[in-house]
A = this chain, B = another copy of it.
Amino acid sequence: MRSIDPSADRSTPARIRDAAITCFAADGVAATSIRAIAAEAGVSAGLVIHHYGSKDQLRIACDEYVASLIREVKGTAMAAGAGLDPLAAMRSFSGGPPLARYLAKTLVDGSPHVADLVDEMVNDAVGYIATGVEAGLLAPSDHPEERASILTLWMLGALVLHEHLERLIGFDITGDLSEDPEESGRAYFGPVAEILGGFFTDTTKELLGEAFPDAPVKTEPDTKDTA
């Protein structure tokens, strides 16, 4: 299921980096100490600084490595046809560092590398959705970028709030669901498909059409140059 083999890179810096990702994913960046990372990697605290300079630089290295892993796995999952769900790729990535939980913790504390990753996911979604629209599978939109942004952020928001999601409907969105694909995610993906299939009735749409008479054309931000 994976095209890359992280176990081939077992150098000490790599072990420290993976230990940091594991700790950050479990407790968050701020609540993780360098000594905890060192203990997880089986080295001393000084060695962590020796290899990465500072906690901040280590965190940046983790961001970049996680982003590169997700980009790699994304390519293999795209062939499998999992287009709309930006988490499908990393969920199938078992055995390596916990990518989904790392993202769940770091999406909220404003790293530019994570922001770049989100922008890429949005751009990917724009492309996937455009393909789906051309194929007649998805409804067209006057504002495809905004629609793709909102859908992507909803999916990532469910990841960030995975504890609430699990408490409410008993589904762990950060887990690997490739082992039980027919059962584990049904309580989530079923209603998701239902909502996206049409939550409002035609009556409501008419009312909404009056409430939002003209569509929102707001081409102010960057990060978008899709066709």
Contact = CB atoms under 8 A, between A and B. Distances in A.
A196 interface: yes
Determine how many copies of this chain the complex contains: 2
Contact of A218 (B145, B165, B170, B207): B170
A20 interface: no
Interface in A165-212: 165, 167-170, 186-201, 203-205, 207-208, 212
B198 A137 contact: no
30 contacts: A107-B164, A136-B203, A137-B203, A138-B199, A139-B198, A139-B201, A143-B194, A145-B169, A147-B195, A151-B199, A153-B157, A153-B158, A153-B161, A154-B154, A160-B161, A168-B221, A170-B218, A170-B221, A186-B218, A188-B216, A189-B215, A191-B215, A193-B200, A193-B208, A193-B212, A194-B215, A196-B198, A197-B198, A197-B204, A198-B200
Contacts of A212: 186, 189-190, 193
Interface of A: 28, 30-31, 105, 107-110, 115, 118-119, 122, 132, 136-139, 141, 143, 145-147, 149-151, 153-154, 156-158, 160-161, 163-165, 167-170, 186-201, 203-205, 207-208, 212, 214-221, 223
B223 A197 contact: no
B169 A193 contact: no
A216 to B, nearest CB: 4
B147 A220 contact: no
A189 to B, nearest CB: 7
Contacts of A187: 143, 146, 216, 218
Contact of A167 (B115, B164, B165, B186): B115
Contacts of A199: 138-139, 151, 196-198
Nearest to A142: B194
Contacts of A220: 170
User: Which of A156, A165, A193, A208 counts the most chain B CB atoms within 10 A?
Assistant: A193
A25 to B, nearest CB: 13
The 5 closest A-B pairs by CB, nearest first: A157-B157, A190-B215, A198-B198, A186-B216, A196-B199
